[in-house]
Amino acid sequence: MTQEYATRYPLLLVPGLLGFVRVLIYPYWFGVVKPLERGGARVFPVMVSGVNSTEIRGEQLLLVIEQVMRDTGASKVNLIGHSQGALTVRYVAARRPDLVASVTSVAGPNHGSELADFLERRFPAGTPGGRVVNAIIGLMDWLIRIFETGYRGPRLPTDITASHQSLTTTGVALFNRRYPQGLPATWGGDGEELVDGVRYYSWSGILTPGRTNRGLNLIDGSNIVCRLFARTFIKERGQCDGMVGRFSSRLGKVIGDDFPLDHFDSVNQMIGLVGKGARPVQLFLEHAARLKAAGL
């Protein structure tokens, strides 16, 4: 076994909204974990509430981190969060920087999701439309819980309203006021790479006609979903991955914000079906090598 991805601290992978470790045999981080492990990395795909506020998820993640530290003897961890998982790891790093070597945001709505804004505008809470949206999310959350096979632990609470408020531009702006670590000072800029001893990194993709809608994404329905969702974007129209805008995603050292990846491609979904020329797993491997080189 090579040691090219043998980071000093374990890698914790934190999923986004409706996240999971494994549904039946299907992993959230599809094809990501094994190649990292083959390069010597210690990798932990972890579970937090699939549908809840960033703060609640973050408090749950703190407990998981303490458990991983006990199990491995590590004094810190590297946190990689996808989508709302990025906000979740930012919360933890802000509260307990002593436990965190690095924060990496993958397609994270670090300034909010315009899709969440659209849903709030179009289907406000308490209206029939809002109730339908909540029912769909509640049903998906329930199904994921039933078929989750990668998580063993106490039942994690669900709060659909809090989850939604954690993802809107307004909600994330409130969050950012309390937890600004790593955010760019100007829209579209880079953030500070090192804050309170924690390294901050980010990457994300955008829908790229001729690439993300080609290749194996031609047979991946989740790409069509992203293309439909992208129509709800106003500020970052044509510059989003279907759920998150490229500038909204920027945090710390920006590795890239325009890879040809839709929001699901970023974690190699579904079942590794990605667009033409996309190599999402390679981004994780390169990043592990980057963390290792930085002594993390």
Minimum CB distance to Ca ion smaller for 119 or for 261: 261
User: Which lies closer to Ca ion via its Cβ, residue 39 or residue 85?
Assistant: 85
Contact 54, 87 (CB under 8 A): yes
Nearest approach, Cβ of 105 to Ca ion (angstroms)? 20
CA distance 1 to 128: 56
CB of 207 to Ca ion, least distance (A): 11
CB of 39 to Ca ion, least distance (A): 24
Residue 40's nearest CA partner among 64, 9, 65 is 9
The residues with which 22 forms a beta bridge, in sequence order, are 27
Tell me which residue has its CB nearest to Ca ion: 220
Q: Give the shortest CB-12-to-Ca ion separation in angstroms.
A: 24
Known catalytic residues? Answer: 83, 241, 263
Residues forming contacts to Ca ion in the complex (CB under 5 A) are 217, 220, 264-265, 273-274
